[in-house]
A and B are shown apart, each in its own frame.
Chain A
Amino acid sequence: MNKFLRTLIPTDIAKGLSVTGKHFGQVFFTANRRKVPFHIVGEYPEVPAKVQPRYRGRLTLLKDEQGEIKCVCCLACEKICPTQVITIEKGKMEGRKMPFPVRYDFEMERCIFCEFCVESCGFDSIILNHQFELAAYNREDFSLGTKGTAQNMFELSPVGKYSVAED
């Protein structure tokens, strides 16, 4: 009898319709106005996509407060790299005690983003940043170094403006 009544009076269907109707109203009326939107999808690329803080992006050389490269050419990263994408040429600079990398080449097309180089670095002079838009139009653009303006290892890549991380 109970089952018969439940079949006759569509309360379950009404319950389902109320749930989806609530979702519709929330998204439809607040999608453009609310600071924390109800819809659960991202709006990449109009809104930068959030990545996790542990995300392993492109290798980046860090600089200290004086604007000098922190790297001291201990070659630990070059030795531990499984795919041998890092090439460092040791050199000297005026007014600096520690060795200075004249060349620090990074072939991104072969990099596997394992982060061994960052772990092996004793001076905290390199990190993997939070950038996942690593595409480029030319193969040469994947050969990064300390020289150049467009593809160097100090800044984000020119296409990578839409990814952020909370940390």
Chain B
Amino acid sequence: MPTPTLTQSIVITLIQCLLVVIFVFVVVPLTVFAERKVLGHLQMRLGSTRIASGHTGLSGFLNRGMWKMGKVPVLSYWRGIPGLLADVVKLIIKEDIIPDKADRFVFFLAPSISMVAAVVVFAAISFVPGTFFTFPTWFPLVGGLPVSGGIADINVGLLWILGVATVGVYGIVLAGWSSNSKYPLLGGLRSAAQMVSYEVPLALSLLAPVVLAASLNFTEMATRMAVGMPIWALVPQVIGFLLYLTCGFAETNRLPFDMPEAENELVAGFHTEYSGMKFGLFYLAEYINMTVVSALASAFFLGGPWLLPFGLQGLLNPYLPGFLSWFGEPHAIFFVAKIIFLLFTYIWVRGTIPRYRYDQIMAVGWKYLIPLALVNLLLAAAIRCFAV
């Protein structure tokens, strides 16, 4: 295998970044669309079925086509999709209002902090261990070179992810403060308290895989958790998964923990004063954060790029017959499928569980999740000590 020069590795990294950005910007709008449809289905409705528009322009043309298709007696699932395009165009061309007394620099900075903190986490997430694909030899500049599954598979990957993801709270708090308005301020304060509280059980529940796998490297952790664990490790993995998912809901400000943008108490929480693409960045950041949390959960608890969750793959692999060996190997498609399932779970939980009150959120976080995470960590340490 040829060693890449500096230029070649920079080009390969840029291509990887591009792939990740494409992945994010495909998954996020589809999640937004799926949210409407899935929430509808959960409530025995159909969800959005047509785009709202007049008779002119592209959307009008599509609209008329749909009306003509209306002779089909039952609506199709996919008719709401053009509405996504309309949403994006609306966000971009909308007027950007800045309040008079707002701190203009911080007001401008807050959404970018949120967005950057959400996207940069993807640097340490690897979609498949080892080589993702190899460029064909005729490819200019980087022909014959392998592209690894993650952008930067650093040794402190998990620390990087947790650290950068925590910066996201600054975006929300600064947005609440700089708007110079009461509702955003309250939303930002609540968000600070909630996210600081839930950082603790989140990190503690992720410590169990760290202890079990004895590593902080993302690829190594995912590999060991999927194929290198004894059967006893199933218990801390399942408990840790539920804990992590709960804290992940709280960290991404999703229902039932949506304190920062409590729609029934604070108008829209921290982004009340935001409009246009600045609001769009908050919106994007929320969904990218969801994707990140899903990626971490599927990598550390659901077996990552392997097929079976909770370390069952490593127990099954010795008994797998030869013609099924494709299912015993890591594939990026399994990883993406798990991410998509967890994103569906986000919406599923949102459509099922009612909101918590603020003091209840704090009580659940401090009184139940942190002790449970500590017990889980103790269990993982015991298994590490005696069984591995």
Provided the pairs A24-B348, A46-B72, A46-B73 are in contact, do residues A13 and B45 lie with their beta carbons within 8 angstroms? no
Task: Tell me whether A41 and B73 are in contact (CB under 8 A).
Answer: no
Cβ-based interface call for A142 (8 A): no
Task: Tell me whether B42 and A20 are in contact (CB under 8 A).
Answer: yes
Task: Tell me whether B45 and A41 are in contact (CB under 8 A).
Answer: yes
Cβ-based interface call for B317 (8 A): no
Task: Tell me whether A46 and B75 are in contact (CB under 8 A).
Answer: yes
Q: Which A residues lie at the B interface, using CB under 8 A?
A: 7-8, 10, 13, 16-17, 19-21, 23-24, 26-28, 31-32, 37-41, 43, 45-47
A-B contact pairs, 14 of them (CB 8 A): A7-B368, A10-B242, A17-B348, A17-B352, A19-B352, A21-B42, A21-B348, A23-B44, A24-B38, A24-B348, A28-B41, A32-B74, A45-B70, A47-B74
Task: Tell me whether B368 and A31 are in contact (CB under 8 A).
Answer: no
- B248: shortest Cβ distance to chain A, in Å? 15
The listed residue (A13, A28, A37) touching B353 by CB distance below 8 A is: A13
User: How far is B41's CA from A38's CA once the two chains are assembled, in angstroms?
Assistant: 10
Contacts of B348 in A (CB 8 A): 17, 20-21, 24
Cβ-based interface call for B351 (8 A): yes
Task: Tell me whether A27 and B44 are in contact (CB under 8 A).
Answer: yes
Cβ-based interface call for B374 (8 A): no
Task: Tell me whether B46 and A39 are in contact (CB under 8 A).
Answer: yes
Cβ-based interface call for B77 (8 A): yes
Provided the pairs A23-B44, A31-B46 are in contact, do residues A47 and B368 lie with their beta carbons within 8 angstroms? no
Cβ-based interface call for B76 (8 A): yes
- Beyond the given A46-B72, A46-B75, could you list 19 further A-B residue pairs with CB under 8 A, ordered by the A residue number? A13-B353, A16-B352, A17-B348, A17-B349, A19-B352, A21-B42, A21-B348, A24-B42, A26-B44, A27-B41, A27-B46, A31-B75, A31-B77, A39-B46, A40-B44, A43-B46, A43-B73, A46-B70, A46-B73
User: How far is B49's CA from A32's CA once the two chains are assembled, in angstroms?
Assistant: 13
Contacts of B73 in A (CB 8 A): 43, 46-47
User: How far is B42's CA from A40's CA once the two chains are assembled, in angstroms?
Assistant: 12
The listed residue (B42, B70, B75, B372) touching A8 by CB distance below 8 A is: B372
Cβ-based interface call for B5 (8 A): no
> Which B residue's beta carbon lies closest to that of A7?
B368
User: How far is B67's CA from A46's CA once the two chains are assembled, in angstroms?
Assistant: 8
In the A-B complex, list the 7 residue pairs whose CB atoms are closest, starting with the nearest: A27-B41, A46-B70, A20-B42, A24-B41, A20-B352, A16-B352, A39-B44
User: How far is B242's CA from A57's CA once the two chains are assembled, in angstroms?
Assistant: 56
User: How far is B348's CA from A47's CA once the two chains are assembled, in angstroms?
Assistant: 29
For window 17-65 of B, CB contacts with A under 8 Å fall at 38, 40-46
User: How far is B44's CA from A37's CA once the two chains are assembled, in angstroms?
Assistant: 10
Contacts of B75 in A (CB 8 A): 31-32, 43, 46
User: How far is B76's CA from A46's CA once the two chains are assembled, in angstroms?
Assistant: 11
> Which A residue's beta carbon lies closest to that of B43?
A23
Task: Tell me whether A32 and B44 are in contact (CB under 8 A).
Answer: no
For window 92-124 of B, CB contacts with A under 8 Å fall at none
Task: Tell me whether A8 and B38 are in contact (CB under 8 A).
Answer: no
A16, A19, A20 — which one has the most chain B CB atoms within 10 A of its CB? A20
- The proximity string for B residues 363-381 relative to A, scoring 1 for CB distances below 8 Å and 0 otherwise, is 0000010001000000000
Task: Tell me whether B74 and A46 are in contact (CB under 8 A).
Answer: yes
Task: Tell me whether B353 and A32 are in contact (CB under 8 A).
Answer: no
- A41: shortest Cβ distance to chain B, in Å? 5
Contacts of A10 in B (CB 8 A): 242
Task: Tell me whether A39 and B45 are in contact (CB under 8 A).
Answer: yes
User: How far is B349's CA from A28's CA once the two chains are assembled, in angstroms?
Assistant: 17
User: How far is B372's CA from A138's CA once the two chains are assembled, in angstroms?
Assistant: 70
Task: Tell me whether A16 and B353 are in contact (CB under 8 A).
Answer: yes
> Which B residue's beta carbon lies closest to that of A162?
B70
User: How far is B242's CA from A23's CA once the two chains are assembled, in angstroms?
Assistant: 23
Contacts of B70 in A (CB 8 A): 45-46
Task: Tell me whether A41 and B72 are in contact (CB under 8 A).
Answer: no
User: How far is B42's CA from A19's CA once the two chains are assembled, in angstroms?
Assistant: 9
Task: Tell me whether A32 and B46 are in contact (CB under 8 A).
Answer: no
For window 138-163 of B, CB contacts with A under 8 Å fall at none
Contacts of B38 in A (CB 8 A): 24
Task: Tell me whether A20 and B351 are in contact (CB under 8 A).
Answer: yes
User: How far is B8's CA from A85's CA once the two chains are assembled, in angstroms?
Assistant: 85
User: How far is B153's CA from A21's CA once the two chains are assembled, in angstroms?
Assistant: 37
B38, B40, B73, B74 — which one has the most chain A CB atoms within 10 A of its CB? B74
Contacts of B72 in A (CB 8 A): 46
Contacts of A32 in B (CB 8 A): 74-77
For window 190-234 of B, CB contacts with A under 8 Å fall at none
Contacts of A17 in B (CB 8 A): 348-349, 352
